[in-house]
Structure 1
Amino acid sequence: MSGASRLVLGSARWALVARPDRTLLAATVAAALDTGITRFDTARAYSPPGRAGEGERLLGQALGSHMRAGRARIATKGGHWRRPDGSFAVDARPATLRSHVEASLSALGIERIDRYLLHWPDPAVPLAESVGALADLRAAGLVDEIGVCNVDVAQVEAAHAAGPVAVVQNRLAYLGPDDPVLARCVALGLEYEAYSSLGGPDGPGRMEELVRGEPRVTALAARLGATGVQLALAWLLAQGTAVVPVLGAGRPRSVRASAAAASLTLGGDDLALLDEVRPRPETATA
């Protein structure tokens, strides 16, 4: 993969609100497709309280014929959902995962899901059992690829041993902690999708502060014609071809700006500088 095809547009931003702007959503999805982004991420848990699967329905409607014609690929997640009272539940038993896959197929309006991930490991269910259930759903033709989210290194090993896992989705950002799972994914040949790729809601603002406050980064941004957000995404992409940032952009302008980061080239000295000035929070454990 190269360019914007190495990016995924996530849907949590608009799916968790009570009254999403469907016109804005459609325009954002169209902008993503125009930039070359063809991969989209959602989850059963991305919904307002009492409206299970709403995020999947919204994304399926926005993509419409693009998805059915194979011009867009959908990833969704299950084993985790939002209760009517707003709290979240985890249940990764095989029967629950099957029911979630069937519900996702209905919500998205498709017959086969491109990529299906276990959203969170269930401490009450062996991970190998959950992954085995996903492998069975893949063998049944309901999903094309399977993966896991929010896992540590030992869980990646267990998942990889239990079934044909293709992807791991964990939190990783320039402004966040390192994740030892990334190196293990590279060793195993797994794709690593980095969600919360700007470091949280305050990430864009913090990146712009870094650009303004560090003269060498100011000069780097000026030389590349890049914003702080674009530098953060370019740094992620430079961590290796296995890394695929998941964007949280909710507007066409934001999508286009984020997609432009895929065309930036950071040299060795640029990366050394960004690593030197990068905040150093503790290493992630999941």
Structure 2
Amino acid sequence: MTSRLGFGALHLTDGGWGPPVDRDAAKAVLRTAVDLGVHMIDTADAYGVGANEELIAEALHPYPAGLTVATKAGQCRPGRGEWVPLGRPEYLRQQAELSLRRLRVERLDLFYLHRVDPAVPLADQVGALADLRAEGKVDRIGLSEVDVETIEAARRVAPISAVQNKYSVDDRAYEEVVDHCTAESIAFVPWRPIPRGDARVAKVAAELGAPEAAVALAWLLARSPAIQPIPGTTSLEHLRENMSADAITLTADQVAVLDQS
């Protein structure tokens, strides 16, 4: 497992709502991702309402040494397209237990608070994950869609190993968080890391004769050593294109083009 690229499994299960449309094809994507050097598979209890975790276990269990399977709790799904933060400690514990069962493990490698629930004190939400860690049911704790202030408040309750925020060459609202995670040796895991139709990416991709997605991922890898992108796809072709980012070395001029606002 040598790549800093992970794999986001959300879209393998019918838009994140139900089981996969083609189960065998979805399992093939997961297995090929691991074969290509993906170091982390990213899922959540809410993806496919549990079906995503079950699919990952079916495809990859027993998990190869060095592979992290990261999952999350803290958003419930009252209906298709609905995502509602729910951070009550008893709910987070319940969902962790269900994830352990679905992933067929005794300890979750990396367990994120999927969203901070504004109706519940942050210390109670992170404290629930810390309790699970103390019991040996969680190895590392992560946060998602948070700012620096929230990260530091959470770190006063428990060690934080990873932060997963939306970030890409065309969406840089969390620049401060990237820099903070880099300085504090916290993994920064961008979700939705590949922009669509970005002229800067297209220009550099044409120069390199490389897929645009791979160029966008290469920019992230060059942006900070803390960054570990998790692009997702249902296509083996796109998966291979994404993984080709590891072979791209951007010049200073190309980085400057991509850095332009």
TM-score with structure 2 length normalisation? Answer: 0.92
- Cα 1:31/1:275, change in 2 over 3 Å: same
Aligned residue in 2 for 1:163: 158
Q: Distance in 2 between matches of 1:78 and 1:163?
A: 17
Aligned residue in 2 for 1:283: none
- 1:132 equivalent to 2:127? Answer yes
For the Cα contact (< 8 Å) 1:27–1:251, is it kept in 2? no
- Cα 1:88/1:122, change in 2 over 3 Å: same
Which SS does the other structure have where 2:112 is aligned?
A: strand
Alignment of 1:2-81 (within 5 A): 5-15=3-13, 16-20=16-20, 21-47=22-48, 52-65=49-62, 67=63, 69-81=64-76
User: More strand by proportion, 1 or 2?
Assistant: 1
Give 4+ residue runs of structure 1 displaced > 4 Å after superposition: 209-212
For the Cα contact (< 8 Å) 1:94–1:130, is it kept in 2? yes
Q: Distance in 2 between matches of 1:89 and 1:223?
A: 43
For the Cα contact (< 8 Å) 1:80–1:90, is it kept in 2? yes
Which SS does the other structure have where 1:77 is aligned?
A: strand
Q: Distance in 2 between matches of 1:210 and 1:267?
A: 14
Deviation track 1:131-160 (CA, whole Å, cap 9, x = no partner) reads 121111111100110010011221111112
Root-mean-square deviation (CA), in Å? 1.9
Q: Which moved more, 1:81-90 or 1:107-116?
A: 81-90
* Counterpart residue identity of residue 252, structure 1: L
For the Cα contact (< 8 Å) 1:221–1:227, is it kept in 2? yes
Alignment of 1:1-286 (within 5 A): 5-15=3-13, 16-20=16-20, 21-47=22-48, 52-65=49-62, 67=63, 69-83=64-78, 87-179=82-174, 180-199=176-195, 203=196, 206-207=197-198, 210=200, 217=203, 220-276=204-260, 280=261
How many residue pairs get aligned? The number is 257
For the Cα contact (< 8 Å) 1:63–1:72, is it kept in 2? no
TM-superposed CA distance for 1:248, in Å, is 1.3
Q: Which moved more, 1:94-103 or 1:224-233?
A: 224-233
* Counterpart residue identity of residue 141, structure 2: I
For the Cα contact (< 8 Å) 1:46–1:81, is it kept in 2? no
Deviation track 1:102-137 (CA, whole Å, cap 9, x = no partner) reads 010111111111000000001011212211211111
Q: Distance in 2 between matches of 1:250 and 1:112?
A: 27
Q: Which moved more, 1:176-185 or 1:130-139?
A: 176-185
Q: Distance in 2 between matches of 1:175 and 1:84?
A: 30
- Cα 1:130/1:211, change in 2 over 3 Å: closer
Which SS does the other structure have where 1:128 is aligned?
A: helix
Which SS does the other structure have where 1:243 is aligned?
A: coil
For the Cα contact (< 8 Å) 2:4–2:39, is it kept in 1? no
Q: Distance in 2 between matches of 1:17 and 1:261?
A: 29
TM-superposed CA distance for 1:166, in Å, is 0.4
- Cα 1:211/1:171, change in 2 over 3 Å: closer
Gaps of 5+ in 1: 281-286
- Cα 1:85/1:46, change in 2 over 3 Å: closer
Aligned residue in 2 for 1:284: none
* Counterpart residue identity of residue 266, structure 1: L
Q: Identity, % of aligned pairs?
A: 39
TM-superposed CA distance for 1:86, in Å, is 5.6
Gaps of 5+ in 2: none
* Counterpart residue identity of residue 70, structure 1: A
TM-score with structure 1 length normalisation? Answer: 0.84
Which SS does the other structure have where 1:31 is aligned?
A: helix
TM-superposed CA distance for 1:223, in Å, is 4.5
For the Cα contact (< 8 Å) 1:75–1:116, is it kept in 2? yes
